[in-house]
Chain A
């Protein structure tokens, strides 16, 4: 199965398209200063609310800023949101899930009750409440993500480990006299991680949407920074006259999310993981 990862992407269109999309956004983010045709923040009163044209393929906004350039610069922030917003919960959740599945008993019971309580709150509501305390901003968003997002990973890893634990190969390892730690980290965790690796991709989509939603509500990234959710919010007032301000950043979110989803599906197929 691991060997399958090395296969060329030929005849795996999902893998090919997904990786190509992510690569394109990564390049846009890295090379933004060189490929963006205009300064994303500089205002120009003479070209306010221009519709898409050759000079400004995505049009300009109410401050005369080039929407295309802002979408390209936005890739920097939104990719960062998706990556960091997944990374911390993934690390914390994997650690907690492994511990809970490994030790069982009261440690497991304690974590599970905590997870029940956290899950009782609608995800976004709890995040908003935490951001309300910490104050708006991207740092607050990451902290809130880390505090709330780990529960899915913890549940997933724990459930996988509990299932794997009862499978014959784990029982066989036990009967061969392998230590519990070895069984855990060498046999159970690698198998459990395959499932959460696929989940990482679909979670990246949710985190991206959440980050953009929070910025849209004015509680995340603050203007004038170019972030896609912020741009949608800024365009909302002009939806009847200048639809392009709203449309293009939204399409950017959809496309990036599509890339993550495709890659997740392709990984699921490769690793033989079912959702």
Chain B
């Protein structure tokens, strides 16, 4: 450490305000491949002022995460390394620092939090041990004192019952709590710079809200400079003072957040911002009036949790409770809610993948009363598209065979006709028939999802269930897949059950919406009813939690929440309290 650089952000040298917290000049990071050095990041220069939040935004492969690892000196050796440029933390030159001195800086002067709080904490050590270890790595304090400091750190991130948390293991905490622990660990030593790499991407939207609020509050208290790495332009708009947009390892644009959002200069930035789904953009379309293609009444799905000596049922997961709704022909019906609310279970029940109670009718036929041939015929009418297209495609089959397989099963067409049909389908989803002979791993994520859609279309279904189908895709790819789904819907008159956690996407694509919470629907109506006039407190909380991609947007002051969603697991015989939906006007149903 250079003598002039302060040990913590609290005490500053006289000229500290003029000196940037971090300076990056002409950074180049390359990976060694069989074909020689390939740059992952090149010509990147920026400064980070004290107390400032700088967002580095970009899609996958833009080099934003590599940049953060380069600053931390944590590039995976030996293949990836810095091949040019300089990184300076205050006055300390980091690029040629020996590992021992770099280590002393890591965690002390520059800290980092990661995307996956579940995998970034050691599962076999308690929270307290890991916090104390991080403190004792830099300061010679007694174990008792380290523990006291750890407790203080947990308090500062407003974790409930901090004393108890010290002795708990990571798996005993929820995702949001784990991310708070990670933040506590990162800020325990008051670093000058905090790098947050997609800190809320793995979290539900309401939990994301809490973590973002916490980060902003802590920054105000401690004056830490933050580099926020994210793909989410909403998060950028809410948090950043300045923004760097990256693509393919290069900086595309840099500017103040207000400037980037209001008058972007680069074409890429404009395209990126145009692709971001915005709340309020889809209002005003009239709802579709048609016969229902699917009708669910009083649907219930429960899973038994067995355990103990004799394998008796000890408790039940009430995944779906008394859910009723219709999906009309040609409409997009959206199920929205946070993880574990039961929305995906409904999709599985509708295609007969999980046993259910209650009634599911598809095109007038009741699921569960059909014989094998009837079920097979029904399968042609409902198709499902999953979240992870790689996992949904058998890795050992060519995509031509994958798309043709449902036709073979249902005995449709001759081999030549099927081949022609597969070619048509590939063309229709924006791929080329020449790609029929390739394997799934040869395609990008967006292309794979198109293959899944082509396969779902092969049987000319009347209803497609899209279960988080665009959630894993980059925002520009996501926009194109959503456009494709909308076009196909118009062209073939297919109804869409759109299952998503993303309120903004749902608002953009849906005709009608049902909001789910803990297995039950708490609000249902047309898109305009639910988004324009949300009645249930949970719906409001979901909508308010969505980050708005507009830095000038003023968020209404709201109480800082640190709540946890209760568990859907209940002892045998007990169950959640059933909510009753009441019509508040024009078919807008709200839980009372």
A and B touching (C-beta < 8 Å)?
yes
A interface list, Cβ under 8 A from B: 1-3, 167-169, 171-179, 182, 187, 190-191
Give Cα A174–Cα B352 distance, bound, in whole angstroms.
9
Q: Among the listed B375, B386, B409, B441, which residue makes an inter-chain contact with A171, where contact means beta carbons less than 8 Å apart? A: B386
Shortest CB–CB separation between residue B374 and chain A, in angstroms?
11
Near A by CB (< 8 A), chain B positions 379-403 give 379-380, 382-384, 386-388, 391-396
Residues of B close to A176: CB separation below 8 A: 379, 383, 405-406, 409, 455, 459
Q: Does B410 have its Cβ within 8 Å of any Cβ on chain A?
A: yes
Given A1-B439, A3-B439, A172-B386, A177 contacting B406 (CB threshold 8 A): yes
Question: Which interface residue of A2, A169, A179 has the most chain B CB atoms within 10 A?
Answer: A169
B interface list, Cβ under 8 A from A: 348, 351-353, 375-376, 379-380, 382-384, 386-388, 391-396, 405-406, 409-410, 439, 441, 452, 455, 459
Shortest CB–CB separation between residue B306 and chain A, in angstroms?
13
Given A3-B439, A168-B386, A179 contacting B409 (CB threshold 8 A): yes
Given A1-B395, A169-B394, A190-B396, A175 contacting B388 (CB threshold 8 A): no
Give Cα A178–Cα B452 distance, bound, in whole angstroms.
16
Residues of B close to A177: CB separation below 8 A: 375-376, 379-380, 406, 409-410, 459
Give Cα A63–Cα B234 distance, bound, in whole angstroms.
87
SS of B interface (majority): mixed
Given A167-B391, A174-B353, A175-B384, A1 contacting B455 (CB threshold 8 A): no
Give Cα A102–Cα B267 distance, bound, in whole angstroms.
54
Residues of A close to B459: CB separation below 8 A: 176-177
Known: A177-B376, A177-B406, A187-B394. 6 other contacts (CB 8 A): A168-B392, A169-B391, A174-B351, A176-B406, A177-B459, A178-B409
Contact B353 A171 (CB under 8 A): yes
Contact A175 B351 (CB under 8 A): yes
Residues of A close to B388: CB separation below 8 A: 168
Give Cα A173–Cα B387 distance, bound, in whole angstroms.
15
Q: Which residue of B lies closest to A177 (CB)?
A: B379
Give Cα A83–Cα B182 distance, bound, in whole angstroms.
53
Contact B406 A169 (CB under 8 A): no
Residues of B close to A190: CB separation below 8 A: 396
Give Cα A261–Cα B73 distance, bound, in whole angstroms.
38
Q: Among the listed B375, B392, B441, which residue makes an inter-chain contact with A169, where contact means beta carbons less than 8 Å apart? A: B392
Give Cα A191–Cα B440 distance, bound, in whole angstroms.
14
Residues of B close to A174: CB separation below 8 A: 351-353
Can you report 9 A-B residue pairs in the complex whose CB atoms are below 8 A from each other?
A1-B441, A168-B392, A171-B386, A173-B405, A174-B351, A175-B384, A176-B405, A178-B406, A191-B396
Q: Which residue of B lies closest to A194 (CB)?
A: B396
Shortest CB–CB separation between residue B20 and chain A, in angstroms?
45
Contact A191 B394 (CB under 8 A): yes
Give Cα A191–Cα B406 distance, bound, in whole angstroms.
19
Q: Which residue of A lies closest to B379 (CB)?
A: A177
Contact B392 A1 (CB under 8 A): no
Give Cα A171–Cα B351 distance, bound, in whole angstroms.
10
Contact A1 B396 (CB under 8 A): yes
Residues of A close to B351: CB separation below 8 A: 174-175
Q: Which residue of A lies closest to B34 (CB)?
A: A11
Q: Which residue of A lies closest to B382 (CB)?
A: A175
Shortest CB–CB separation between residue B354 and chain A, in angstroms?
10
Contact A172 B452 (CB under 8 A): yes
Contact A172 B392 (CB under 8 A): yes
